[in-house]
Amino acid sequence: MIYADNKVTDVKIAYIGGGSHGWAWTFMTDLARESAISGTIRLYDIDMEAAKNNECIAKRLFRRDDVVGKWDFTTVGSLQEALTGADFVLISILPGTFEEMQSDVHYPERYGIYQSVGDTSGPGGLLRALRTIPMYVEIANAIKKYSKDAWVINYTNPMTLCVKTLYHVFPEIKAFGCCHEVFGTQKILRNICELTTGIKGIERNEIFVNVLGINHFTWFDQASYKGIDLFPIYRKFIEESFEEGYHDPDRNWANGTFNCAHRVKFDLFQKFGLIAAAGDRHLAEFLPGDWYLKDPETVKSWKFALTTVEQRKVTQKERNERAVRLMNGEEDIELKPTGEEGIMLIKALCGLGRVVSNVNIPNTNGQIPNLPNTAVVETNAVFERNSIKPVVSGRLPEGIRDLIMPHVEDHEMILEAALTCDFELALKAFTSDPLVKGKLSEADARELLTAMIRNTIKYLPEGFKKYI
């Protein structure tokens, strides 16, 4: 990297999963709007054609007159090519295909187990982790070999286990996980504040929060806007609107399976006194199945949805069609703010400012003192030149800690099970997950896990084949 005139040039970024039709386009948009850093993006993907398509889309974008960023994009054929000399590494991959996800999310429904996302916890989260962890072992080893000093940003789910694997393989790695679920809860607090106080024009990042928890099961124990404590405002809004919920005008729960009315958040606030800071679809999966995911009717009563894999396939088809239009010049990427902070964090790490944001990193500095230091936790951290300093967020209330600890313990078992191809250990984690615990007999649990492993065996290590 070259520093001059408050700009950083010749930044080298390796993008693993560079054929993405989600994060990659978001990343391009943010790069196009930023003039303080420039350099080269190396796109690597096992689907090389998808990466080349993104290279074409990016080159069209960066030739536009309204683009201020200056970046070259190139597709490479190996991790070594992507990583050698990289300053930053982005990882955004889909472990497996939607066929594997179909099994992850919907096969357990045959046994009365419902999942609203299926990529982080529950049966789906476990199977996705078993596929993902071996991939991350390979990635971590390659980073250690070819770019050991690079900053590594993970966007892949299951976030916690992806980050945990990177540190397990390469303890000195400079990796962190980024997730926008906290941003969504800040926006809700902003909107409720505007509705109830009459203040207009509040920016999302003006809502100051203390973040503590694990990814997709995060909490705020403090939230304020310019000295205004938002907890009383939030509490009063819930008292008045609990049954109706909060309806985001842009994301009404009735108009899409990715949306919600935030009634799960409201209920958790009434139960525990802290603000749950993730989407209701994610939050529900960390809790006992009879709370919010007992059956489709219960889900509907809480005003969120079971996001089907068929819906994801429809979305992917639409993105594939859009990719063709973008490549052919029939459509342009709109240069509007994406709401993501990846570029801000990269700038801060390059020395262009100081940023406080929520990240997923190991609890080795005791950010949450009453969770194990081996856990990967989500808290705020301070980003400055070549430095991330995690914020000590404080202790979790015991009631919330009791909900989080089974998942922390499961993460340890799932990581070891994936690394050693240990079916019995995977089964132990499977049956102790709150969505499964007490719901199945031992025989049914074994039968279900065996079937799910069989359905995704193409993406699992050889050691699991003996169990099917």
Q: What residues act catalytically?
A: 180
Give exposure, 359-377, as e/b (b: 16+ Cβ within 10 Å).
bbbbbeeebbeebeeebbb
**DSSP readout, 313-377?**
HHHHHHHHHHHHHHHHTSS-------S--HHHHHHHHTTS--EEEEEEEESTT-SSTTS-TTSEE
The number of C-alpha atoms within 13 Å of 412 and in the hemisphere containing its C-beta is 9
Residue given tokens 């990715």 in the structure block: 258
Widest Cα–Cα separation across the chain: 67
- How far is residue 186's CA from residue 166's CA, in Å, rounded to a whole number? 29
Please check whether residue 436 is in contact with residue 445, taking contact to mean a CB–CB distance below 8 angstroms.
yes
How far apart are alpha carbons 356 and 363 in whole angstroms? 17
Q: How many CB atoms within 10 Å of residue 356?
A: 15
The amino acid occupying position 449 is: L
Q: Compute the distance between CA of residue 217 and CA of residue 407 in angstroms, rounded to an integer.
A: 10
Neighbour-count burial of 293, counting CB atoms closer than 10 A to its CB (0-12 exposed, 13-18 middle, 19+ buried): buried
Nearest to 64 by CA among 92, 31, 19: 31
Q: Give the list of residues 6+ apart from residue 137 with CB closer than 8 angstroms, or none.
A: 165, 169, 419
